[in-house]
Structure 1
Amino acid sequence: MNKIISKPESIIGITGYCPGCGHGVIQRLIAESIEELGIQDNIINVVDIACSYWSMDTMNFDSIAGPHGRCAAVATGIKKVRPKTNVYVHAGDGSSYVIGLSETIFTALRDVPITMIVVNNGIFGMTGGQLNLATTPLGDKTVSSPYGRNSENYGSPINMMEVLKNYDVEFLARGALFNGKEINKTKRYIKQGFKNQINNKGFSLIEILSNCPTNWKLSPIEAADKVKEVYTKIFPLGVYKDRGEKNE
């Protein structure tokens, strides 16, 4: 019998994501995971004042947008006063690893039981495509590095999974979206992050390598190929830390 696939019921509107952007795929994976776990009536979504902000208009969840870069801190505050609520962050790498680096680090340090989903597209997308000190590959041209990123002026990108795994956190994993196999694997990581929170196990962060065709000035197919050929070499995929049992 053929399986009928429909959109998650939690997605109730159309977003303004650019064509080919990975945020929309991530949004669907989040909604599917939440519905499959049956927790859609007990969710608070914390988004950044950036691309992920669109999900506030699209997802049928209680949502709040914190100041740029402060998602982890806002989510921590919500979790402290509503510990039985499932709180998740949907934010970018600029928010989480640059402007909000301190907030992300201290949330991990305290092992706050939230689910943090970080979209790594190597750039500040919403504000026009500026260089991201944490994730822009060497040589890439951006509006703030028109001659290409070099280590002398801008330093080199950093694998934040390697940094965060030094803390006593529950779960760290990195997925990608460049093909169906990796999308399915990424969904398993997201779902595991929510399972950990349901069981009050501790801090989970899932980073997702995503393409940004608009700011990269590439077609969606070319952008997906860049993620596969360039980004996965700098930011290897897989589970970096799993304090609990083996994932299902």
Structure 2
Amino acid sequence: MAVILKKPEMINQQVGWCGGCGHGIVQRLVAECCEELDLVEKTIQVVDIACAYWSIDTLNCDGIAGPHGRCAAVATGIKKVLPDSNVYIHAGDGCSYVIGLAETCYAAQRNVPVTMIVVNNGIFGMTGGQMCPATTLVGDKTVSSKKGRDDTVAGEPFDMLNIIQNYPIAYAARGALYDSKHIDETKKMLKRGFEYQRDNKGFSIIEILSPCPTNWKMSPVDAMVKLKEENEKIFPVKVYVDNGGEQIG
């Protein structure tokens, strides 16, 4: 029997992301999870002042744009005031792991029951394509590393989930968007993060490997290939922590 696919009702208008960007896929997965878990009316999104900001105009739920890098702190405040709400963060790797590294770590240390989604596209996207110290691969060219990232100058990228799995959190996982199989697995990770918040089990972080064709200066197809063949070698797709801090990966 044919399966009829339709747009989630939570998505109420089009948005302005670049062609081939993964943020739109993430947004749809969030909407599907919230609808399937009957969380739409309780949902409050916290978006970064960067690429993720477009989501606040598109999803039919309450939301706020936190100062750049401070999303985890803003989400913490909302959850403390409205503990029954479904608070999730939609932010990038630069926001979460560089400018807002302290805020992300303290939300994890406090095990605040929010769901943090980090879109890892290996670059500062909205500000023009600068190198991201946390995630830009060695050798990758950006507007601030025109000859390619030099590890003797800028160091190497680091796997933040390897670090954050040592905090007293409920869930940490990394998905990817380069094919339908991994998109389905990423949706399962997101749903787990929302379920753990619903059940008050603690802090969840789901990092998602996503392409940035515009700033990588690639076609959308080539960007997906790079994501699979290069980025995933440094940032493995797997579950790091599940069910109240039990380490499994």
Residue of structure 1 equivalent to 2:216:
216
Answering whether residue 183 of structure 2 is matched by residue 183 of structure 1, we say yes
- The CA deviation at 1:191 is 0.4
- The CA deviation at 1:161 is 0.6
SS in 1 for 2:230: helix
C-alpha separation in 1, matches of 2:242 and 2:151: 32
Answering whether residue 192 of structure 2 is matched by residue 195 of structure 1, we say no
Query: TM-score, normalised to structure 1's length?
Result: 0.98
C-alpha separation in 1, matches of 2:88 and 2:57: 16
Residue of structure 2 equivalent to 1:57:
57
Residue of structure 2 equivalent to 1:81:
81
- The CA deviation at 1:10 is 0.3
CA RMSD of aligned residues (A): 0.8
- The CA deviation at 1:152 is 1.1
- The CA deviation at 1:243 is 2.6
Residue of structure 2 equivalent to 1:116:
116
The superposition leaves residues 194-218 of structure 1 with CA deviations (integer Å, 9 ceiling, x where unpaired) of 0000000000000000000000000
The aligned amino acid for 2:243 is R
Aligned length in residues: 245
SS in 2 for 1:119: strand
Answering whether residue 18 of structure 2 is matched by residue 18 of structure 1, we say yes
Residue of structure 2 equivalent to 1:127:
127
- The CA deviation at 1:12 is 0.4
Residue of structure 2 equivalent to 1:5:
5
Give unmatched runs, 5+ long, in structure 1: none
Aligned residue runs from structure 1 range 40-55, under 5 A:
40-55=40-55
- The CA deviation at 1:150 is 1.0
Aligned residue runs from structure 1 range 133-212, under 5 A:
133-212=133-212
Residue of structure 2 equivalent to 1:242:
242
- The CA deviation at 1:70 is 0.3
SS in 1 for 2:13: coil
SS in 2 for 1:208: strand
C-alpha separation in 1, matches of 2:236 and 2:53: 27
C-alpha separation in 1, matches of 2:57 and 2:108: 28
The superposition leaves residues 121-178 of structure 1 with CA deviations (integer Å, 9 ceiling, x where unpaired) of 0000000000000000000010001111011110100000100001110000000000
SS in 2 for 1:230: helix
C-alpha separation in 1, matches of 2:79 and 2:68: 19
The superposition leaves residues 37-93 of structure 1 with CA deviations (integer Å, 9 ceiling, x where unpaired) of 011000000000000000011000101001000000000000000000010000000
- The CA deviation at 1:2 is 1.6
C-alpha separation in 1, matches of 2:231 and 2:175: 11
SS in 2 for 1:87: strand
Spell out structure 1 runs of 4+ moving beyond 3 A.
Answer: none
C-alpha separation in 2, matches of 1:240 and 1:226: 23
C-alpha separation in 2, matches of 1:2 and 1:132: 43
C-alpha separation in 1, matches of 2:167 and 2:241: 10
Q: What is the aligned-residue identity percentage?
A: 62
The aligned amino acid for 1:74 is V
C-alpha separation in 2, matches of 1:119 and 1:43: 19
C-alpha separation in 2, matches of 1:155 and 1:83: 40
Query: TM-score, normalised to structure 2's length?
Result: 0.97
The aligned amino acid for 1:213 is P
